[in-house]
Structure 1
């Protein structure tokens, strides 16, 4: 395209400005591509866990995630963040949040695909958690923020099952595949969404510092008074919240609208002005006599929500893997089309090393995420060893994979140079999103210490982990050396080493999976750069892989 302009100056005839330049050497928009085609690691993980047929079942969702339509809705949902309306025009308190239509489009598709609750259905197929994890990972690449209410709804179901009466009343609506937005009595809606309302300003992750109180009433409900500092998706229908009852810290179910149609006394104070996650509303709120119902037993609130925490931590791993994969796709696509110094960037040795490093980080993350999702499936069928593996590996994985996302996305952004730093590229949005999942459901120190807590509370959880790792023993001396070091550290875990232990545990797990399931060159790249590499930044070792570059570069018809 040539650039010229016609302009008329005072007292002059029409003049045409000179052509200044030709627009060339630009990578085409990464629209209407299939994220499954350039993600063999996901396909291989599904096959490894007996779900090969899920690849084609997921194909329509993947293609829609990579479509120009979905990508534009993702942009618009973040360009037009939610707005709080505390009162209507007449001064009545309404406490409603208005979302852009693109938010509703994204939510509708996520719910219709069952990403919010499909594995909890009584007739869910074998491998339902793995399939849902793969779908959540693919669809989150279109837009990350709306994954929050989807994830919280997914995680609320097992928590509600601590109170069978509440589960019977609300679980069918939570499992429904209708997205029915708006504040109405839950019984009148075709589909429900759930949220969490746990933390308070004085405690944060230390929920035992909560001051919110819940007074039992004669009809079996509780009257709740207090505040919450961070409640995501406040327009959802139901919230699990923590409050102090006479029996101690307890979990309660709080609907936004009561069964008789009246608004519950939940007052939205303001929406958070967050670093990223702009499409999703997160609120500070007050309970001014809100009505709720006990979930589980009084004084066992943490126990009641532990299943919820595990499921949302799983989605933190999936969301981080999705964000890394989205950034990798943009970087690999750009360097495949952008020329410099006489060749495309992806043919220069140093750029090949960077993309290879980004690719192996992404593949290791998605492979481990799918392994943990498969463990959930097996644990649900009564496999105790898989539950023990999850108890130890999930907090460590949440620590490490979520911690890696900002680094990976920053490097992917830099592959585009200055073009990656401008909003139009989409990468700044991914970069701002990246730290959230490391913070949500327990920041780095909390999750690393939870890994140690699992070791101290249940030392026998080490055996399923080591059994998993021993499956790759003997294939590579570097791996065997790493495994020996991990065994030594597991015998005497110390709090000050919690981060180091979690990192070593995850790197060893990732190496084990790649050695057993990935092409030899992919595993070799990981071992070289992660277990005995000399550099601490992506691409520093100079290791490059033609196989990895070919595997991860998006292709368009």
Structure 2
């Protein structure tokens, strides 16, 4: 031992490790979206009033609470983080660079055990299935995405194939559940669709499938109108079966082309776009087929062997982030598949999937922020800093640090409300509300007429994905910065602290499923559409008007007039040509998004008069809309308010005991 008092590699000060706790209990924003406490308050005019959570009815919450709380703990298990490290360190590759030893094509994709086990975990926990096999109707979707919110930061990007799996399931359900659409399916096609749907919504990892979604090609990127992949109807070809055991045919369409960005390359099926003689169309394709000549690596015959279904991996992408996710360039040569819907209606069909994947993208981004803030909160309780004259305080006692963290938490809360509201709107589109599934009074103020749900969803998915994913990148960087140099490290040794990995992966959010500009352009086109644009405008107007007049326990700030602000934006949209509006796409989308977030924050705060949520609401108005003014008070008062936002407590005394 050193006698000089000097520090060394194994001597001196070592920072105490922060303890990351279950976000279900620790995250005040999550608690408000899922499980706000029932409280009874008294007013002379109304008597006793029961306040409830915004997004979930009491019976749904009561049924699901224990299971979701357990999920919040399960995703923090050491085994989960070991799988994450394995998936990140041992990245996917193509064995033999795509050729066997004799030069024949042999594009066998190899993924690590960690990746496969994380996929199995998500499937078994029903990350996708709970959107289909639960009895909660319209509330199935917000419940599903609240669960995803807890899982996403621990999943090492298996949420990407899950998102496309969800979208494919939604598309197939549409064609199987509609009497009109189902009547257009052949007997064989129905069997194929039913089998795929069963697997896409299964909780059994030995049965379940994930799915790819292949649209992007070299000529157009997000502009699928320039798709060069082609499909030709060849029903008489003897192409065999997807599986010897199931005897399901591969499909009567022959598909040829090249897909430039294809994630979830290890999936069992995909949905893709291809040109037919009648225009751009959507196809379901099995990824594998029965191979009667298949052998083991040593040449022994396999009775139920498989090979790829007319598919060759040209190469895997080398990416800045999402490195555990196999993303490939794919050559399609006589890939067999099934037409989904009508020829020439590919955009209409694929939009069903995009609604899902864009909401998944937004929720995943906010879920990453939730984990980053969870780590930051834990760090403030153990990290000490100098405070002058030889004294030291914990970060949780620093007015500057806690003001920064409170502002970050306030922004996160608005983004989370918008994301979960988009999932609720999706739920409404799938399951119209009935008498037995009435929303809470607060949510009723945010629920459009049934006829306006689809028009609202048509623009809300674009708006939410663009606004949330773009804002989440700098917010996640702020979470890294709050940890100092530790935040910049790739903390394999303590994977739960690896916020830099989450930041790196989150940077793809504003790019995939449509870049920010692509989504803004789509937003403008949807609002100017000669058939549906007026309904989408009407849906936005109804929600903003109803929400802004919600009667609750939050006073309306002087100068805040969301209806007037919306009217100004609407008039600009209505009175200007689509071409002239395109240059203002971001300005318009951001303007509408900020009005929506402001009314969501207002309704949330007004449900129970929570002072911290009222402060969050005012901070948003000041920072984003330039209206309203918060009372600042003393430094001690400010710290108390900041702690209430960050920890969901009433002040420093409560927070310091956490």
SS in 2 for 1:294: strand
What are the Cα deviations for residues 149-173 of structure 1, in whole angstroms up to 9, with x where unaligned? 1111001112234474242231111
CA distance in 2, matches of 1:443, 1:296: 27
Q: Report the counterpart of residue 273 of structure 1 in structure 2.
A: 318
SS in 1 for 2:108: strand
CA distance in 1, matches of 2:7, 2:431: 69
Q: What displacement does 1:332 show?
A: 2.0
Q: Report the counterpart of residue 233 of structure 1 in structure 2.
A: 264
Consecutive unaligned residues in structure 2, runs of 5 or more: 35-52, 176-180, 183-189, 237-250, 292-305, 387-391, 433-449, 492-496, 550-554, 574-580, 629-637
Contact 1:200/1:228 (8 A) holds in 2: yes
TM-score, length basis structure 1: 0.88
Aligned to 1:528, which of 615, 622, 625? Answer: 622
Q: What displacement does 1:284 show?
A: 0.4
Q: Report the counterpart of residue 28 of structure 2 in structure 1.
A: 40
Q: What displacement does 1:66 show?
A: 2.4
Structure 1 moving runs of 4+ over 6 Å: 15-18, 552-557
CA distance in 2, matches of 1:501, 1:373: 22
Classify 1:496/1:482 alpha carbon distance in 2 versus 1 (closer, same or farther; 3 Å).
Answer: farther
The answer as to 2:381 corresponding to 1:339 is no
Contact 1:486/1:501 (8 A) holds in 2: no
Moved more, 46-55 or 277-286: 46-55
Classify 1:438/1:259 alpha carbon distance in 2 versus 1 (closer, same or farther; 3 Å).
Answer: same
SS in 1 for 2:61: coil
Classify 1:134/1:122 alpha carbon distance in 2 versus 1 (closer, same or farther; 3 Å).
Answer: closer
The answer as to 2:345 corresponding to 1:300 is yes
Q: Report the counterpart of residue 244 of structure 1 in structure 2.
A: 275
Q: What displacement does 1:527 show?
A: 2.5
CA distance in 1, matches of 2:88, 2:657: 26
Q: What displacement does 1:68 show?
A: 3.1
Aligned to 1:73, which of 73, 83, 91? Answer: 83
CA distance in 1, matches of 2:474, 2:520: 19
Q: Please identify the structure whose Cα radius of gyration is greater.
A: 2
Classify 1:332/1:230 alpha carbon distance in 2 versus 1 (closer, same or farther; 3 Å).
Answer: same
Q: Report the counterpart of residue 392 of structure 1 in structure 2.
A: 459
Please give the residue correspondences for 1:91-490 in structure 2 after superposition, counting only pairs within 5 Å.
91-121=103-133, 127-160=139-172, 161-162=174-175, 164=182, 165=190, 166-180=192-206, 190-219=207-236, 221-258=252-289, 261-341=306-386, 342-382=392-432, 383-424=450-491, 425-457=497-529, 458-473=533-548, 475-477=555-557, 480-490=560-570
Q: What displacement does 1:105 show?
A: 1.8
Moved more, 324-333 or 522-531: 522-531
Q: Report the counterpart of residue 439 of structure 2 in structure 1.
A: none
The answer as to 2:648 corresponding to 1:551 is yes
Q: Report the counterpart of residue 10 of structure 1 in structure 2.
A: none
Classify 1:197/1:556 alpha carbon distance in 2 versus 1 (closer, same or farther; 3 Å).
Answer: farther
Q: What displacement does 1:143 show?
A: 2.9
SS in 1 for 2:308: coil
SS in 1 for 2:231: strand
Consecutive unaligned residues in structure 1, runs of 5 or more: 5-14, 181-189, 535-541
Classify 1:287/1:124 alpha carbon distance in 2 versus 1 (closer, same or farther; 3 Å).
Answer: farther
Q: What displacement does 1:445 show?
A: 0.6
Contact 1:35/1:554 (8 A) holds in 2: no
What are the Cα deviations for residues 61-82 of structure 1, in whole angstroms up to 9, with x where unaligned? 1111123332332233112211
TM-score, length basis structure 2: 0.75
CA distance in 1, matches of 2:328, 2:218: 12
SS in 2 for 1:239: strand
CA distance in 2, matches of 1:131, 1:144: 22
Q: What displacement does 1:549 show?
A: 1.9
Q: Report the counterpart of residue 82 of structure 1 in structure 2.
A: 92
Classify 1:298/1:525 alpha carbon distance in 2 versus 1 (closer, same or farther; 3 Å).
Answer: same
Q: What displacement does 1:226 show?
A: 0.9
